[in-house]
Chain A
Amino acid sequence: MGKHEIKNRRRFLKDAALIAGGLFVSGGTGPFGQILFATERKGTKGPWYGMGIDLEKCIGCGNCASACKAENGVSREPYYFRTWVEQYTILNDGTVKISSPNGGIDGFVQDFPESDIFKSFFVPKMCNHCENSPCVQVCPVGATFDSPEGVVLVDEHYCIGCRYCVQACPYGCRYIDPDRKVADKCTLCYHRIMNGMLPACVEVCPKGAKIFGDLNDPGSELVKFKREHSWQVLKPHMNTDSKVYYNGLRAEVR
């Protein structure tokens, strides 16, 4: 065996060890990479829309739910809502009462005497436009999809009405439209926001409790809202990466 051959073999072993080691190390850091870059979003280039909801400002007027129905032609029957308001009443004994008669459109009546109430507040709900949305995942034909701006939409000409998405949404935001017979939900007023307007519910809110904005724009109202408040999302354990951020969200809220 010549010296040359031994050298070659040594080099081969060294190279092989390097490649194997490199693969091992890069394989190991893979999962950490995701954590390191968790802030990097899918739609990094264009706008990436979301919504902030300030529960400390909401007065439960129901204007948002009503305006949404008018703007989007949602059935006026009290069983279908793209957005609605819930009233939470925590009694002195710790009991939590929740109600949302007609989605809050007709306003709320407090059933309990003030002396029994520990705290009462309102929670507007809507599609969370999840970055990792279960409804998009389960749609068998791809009729539900993410727009490039991070808005979850339904193609009404494509939906087969299997209702799997309705089952998959943890927040109860979907329903089968009684007139068009397809899955329906909040579009973040896509037709408005793409033309530079605000979603209808944001537009009509008398207290400015709903903050619409671009998460990719450091100067947007929404980014400012997120910076200034200790926000929470609904059901974080669902790991849906919801893009509706609540300020003042209490643990009682479901």
Chain B
Amino acid sequence: MEPHFQHLHEMLSKVDGFIYPNEIDLNWSVLIVLYPYITGLVAGAFILASLERVFKVRVLRPTYTIALLTAMSFLLVATMPLVSHLAQPQRFYEIMITPHFTSAMAIFGFVYMWYLMVVLLLEIWFDYRRDLVLWSQETPGFKGWIYKVLTLGVKDISPKSLKWDEKLGYAVTVIGIPSAFLLHGYVGFIFGSVKANPWWSTVLMPVIFIFSAMVSGIALVMLVFMAVNYIRKKKINMLCLDTIAKYLLVALILDFALEGLDQVHRIYESEESFQILDLLVKGKLTYTLFLFQWGLGMLVPIIILGYLQIFRSGEKIRKILYAATGILVLVGIFFMRWNVVIGGQLFSKSFAGFTAFKLNLIGSEGLLMAAVWLIVPLLILAFLLWLLPPWKKHPEPAD
């Protein structure tokens, strides 16, 4: 028997109650869990960067460039799990050349390209332009040649042109904030607009996606910032770290409030689908929702960060707690995506039963493949930090 059919045969024995016969084949696997997870990290990291640039939170300056490079590394990978998940991956470009505009999915390609080309690449380029010119003059060999290519032939670093860089970079960031909201709010809409699925179909979905994106992106940049300082054996800027943690706490509270509102609303309205969703939440999603998403991923971080706001612990303890919180939050948001994507497919649209999901270790939809898509962006980030080290940027000339 073909492995896929063997898998379905096994799943058939795990069906609980009644499902429509076609529902045994669970359509969106762990790769589609990664898709909102990764785009969320991108949007969140960018929003943290824009806090510094647009909202003038100067104390976050040391994380600005790191946040942009982190966003870039993950954005480059964001479409990979999507495309590899298609049953006809070689036709993926059709979505760009013949988009069907009534589809919520159709403009993802455009939103993505806009965000990549217009927002992130431009902003990073403007931020690095002066350094690229200087590095291309200072660095010998192949690396110097790469810098020269990256300047795109623009070598003017007169104070006047630098001022323009600053202005244009600022403008791009201002455009970037709604774009980041658009990128991830839109991903939320792809799920939130499926009326056939009551677990997904909520008007709050895009908003929850945006806030959970901010939570995960801020946590990621915080961890990257700590790791970079640790590897470089530099003393970390605690004021900056404390400020990131404060923003993380605010984002967590907002996200928790929104998710809570969504659940309270469902429980209070208690619509037709309530019973099956109640069984879903208390059964198949018990651990991933109550323990990982809300418990370890939200409540524990809120308690830790809240505690640190009131009682100032020593630097070392703070750093350990921040690192632990960052990891918990990243795991928690992963499970938030999991509970949306996988959870939404575990119950039958007949509302009369459940199917099961089994994550295989190997295969194109397996755990290892998913891990690859999470490790690759970190490798890209390491490369970008090597090529464009923010700590080697030339100090800005005094006005």
Contact = CB atoms under 8 A, between A and B. Distances in A.
B160 interface: no
B103 A171 contact: no
Given A99-B18, A162-B105, A175-B22, A77 B86 contact: no
Interface in A114-147: 125, 134, 136-142
Interface string A157-175: 0111111101111111111
Interface string B56-96: 00000000000000000000000000000111110110110
Contacts of B87: 159-163, 176, 181-182
Nearest to A88: B18
Interface in A51-102: 77-81, 84, 86, 96-100, 102
Nearest to A97: B18
Contacts, number: 136
Contact of A172 (B12, B22, B104): B22
Contacts of B362: none
Nearest to B32: A163
A142 B27 contact: no
A254 to B, nearest CB: 4
**Residue of A77, A158, A160 ringed by the most chain B CB atoms within 10 A:** A160
A124 to B, nearest CB: 12
A133 to B, nearest CB: 11
Given A79-B8, A254-B352, A172 B20 contact: yes
Contacts of A21: none
* Interface pairs A-B: 8 shortest CB-CB: A161-B87, A172-B20, A142-B100, A170-B196, A98-B18, A254-B350, A140-B105, A181-B87
Interface of A: 77-81, 84, 86, 96-100, 102-103, 125, 134, 136-142, 158-164, 166-176, 178, 181-182, 237-238, 254
Nearest to B18: A98
A100 B21 contact: yes
B13 interface: no
B105 A161 contact: no
B88 A140 contact: no
**What range describes how many residues of B lie at the interface?**
35 or more
**Residue of B89, B95, B99, B350 ringed by the most chain A CB atoms within 10 A:** B350
A77 B100 CA distance: 32
Contact of A163 (B28, B89, B91, B98): B28
Interface string B137-157: 000000000000000000000
23 contacts: A77-B8, A96-B352, A98-B353, A100-B20, A134-B195, A138-B102, A140-B103, A140-B105, A140-B106, A159-B88, A159-B91, A160-B86, A160-B88, A160-B91, A161-B88, A163-B27, A163-B87, A164-B103, A164-B190, A167-B197, A172-B350, A176-B27, A254-B350
Nearest to A174: B22
Nearest to A138: B103
B100 A79 contact: no
A158 B94 contact: yes
B195 A182 contact: no
Given A84-B21, A160-B88, A138 B197 contact: no
Nearest to B4: A178
Contacts of A159: 87-88, 91
B30 interface: no
**Residue of B20, B24, B86, B98 ringed by the most chain A CB atoms within 10 A:** B20
Interface string B11-47: 0100000111111110110000000000000000000
Contacts of B293: none
Nearest to B103: A140
B348 interface: yes
Interface string B182-219: 00000000100011110000000000000000000000
